[in-house]
Amino acid sequence: MAANKVCDRAFDDASAGHALQRLAGTERFDESTGTGEAGESRTFSARNAVKHMHDEYRKRSACWVYRTGDDSGQPLLEIRFSASQSYPSTSGKAAGGDKVSYSLGLYARVGRAGADLFFRCPTKAASKDAYIGDTKYVKAELFSTASQLLGDSVDKDRMVILNAVSRKVAQEAGCAAEASLPARVPES
């Protein structure tokens, strides 16, 4: 499939699709399919991401993106969302100096293994027995293996992708106005 169709068509502008193409060095992609532990389609959707963000980790919706024809079993990118009671402080120097911060949401940082983006988005757990209760924040995570990624803007490209999918999830959750996720990712 084309880059603009992965992750529930979450790449709301051309920049996210181009970022994925640069990272992968290709224009064709596949997503994980089948049925997950929650008994629903494994094909990622913003609706399922919102519905399951209070569930335990393995039951949360995830977008696994693969290069078409890659038989390694290792996704190029894995994107997940979870409800969060808090978010990290942006003060202080990043450990090891290998992390890059961006002015998005409440906290946005890219490191060797991927990217994290926290944004304001009050959500209610489906039941009092939920793994995570009612929260004020959402954590978006993008996992990637640096050795699989191409291009000279790997950090920014990963944040552009995570921001695009996060914007779609925030819209689905009804918190887009307060999430502070701009259409374009600013420079780090």
**pLDDT tens digits for range 137-173:** 999 999 997 778 998 889 999 999 999 999 999 999 9
Residue 12 pLDDT greater than 70, yes or no: no
Binned at pLDDT 50, 70 and 90, residue 92 comes out as very low
The reply to whether 184 falls in a domain is no
Q: Which residue has the tokens 């068509």?
A: 9
How far is the C-alpha of 151 from the C-alpha of 21, rounded, in Å? 9
Q: Which domain does 110 fall in, by range?
A: 3-89+96-179
When pLDDT is averaged across residues 91-110 and rounded to a whole number, the result is 77
The reply to whether 13 falls in a domain is yes
> What is the pTM assigned to this prediction?
0.89
The reply to whether 186 falls in a domain is no
The reply to whether 51 falls in a domain is yes
Query: 3-class DSSP state for residue 17?
Result: helix
When pLDDT is averaged across residues 73-84 and rounded to a whole number, the result is 92
The reply to whether 188 falls in a domain is no
What is the rounded radius of gyration, in angstroms, for the C-alpha atoms of the chain?
16
When pLDDT is averaged across residues 26-50 and rounded to a whole number, the result is 75
Binned at pLDDT 50, 70 and 90, residue 181 comes out as very high
Specify the number of domains making up the chain. 1
The reply to whether 103 falls in a domain is yes
The reply to whether 185 falls in a domain is no
